[in-house]
Structure 1
């Protein structure tokens, strides 16, 4: 409503919120809504994925044919990294569920940023 007069729709400046919502809902193009999608940006993704899947298959075959894992001549270690995880701290304690009142853990929307971190798993 605030931007309607500048866009040439002066009559919408005083329109009710529900009127604006009905107009937007009836329009087949809805730029005010966002849907996320995934995009494969790495052109070598398929090749890299196949290399990893081959390693998994080789380890699986070794484990099936060896019998006792202690007798395996090879040790396989898998390592993964997830960089750039936001480190956040809640500024208020969570509110626990209360029977008959709240069936979920309540968490304040506000938080304090503590930088980023990388998670390494093996």
Structure 2
């Protein structure tokens, strides 16, 4: 695990922005938007479908988050890491509630999703 620079951590903890999660399928990238929550140098997402299947086969992932204003980038953070599928119903429910709270969604939204925890290996960021 690496240390995420404090400025990048504050950016990741800020507004409820869409992240783009990159996984790999058959040696090709698969990128999809996700809601996320960053805390304690770990990223949590709850997901299902292709992303989850890809992670089960290959846990190496990337996550990109960017803040824009009127089409102009203000900052971006890219994280590379290793994902772990958490098959614990209580832990998944708690993570889902925290993520849904961040995005001002119904606490029970996405009840069929599975928790994926990403341990960060490297982080880069830039402000503009």
TM-score, normalised on structure 2?
0.20
The structure that has the greater radius of gyration is 1
Greater relative CO, 1 or 2 (CA 8 Å, sep 6+): 2
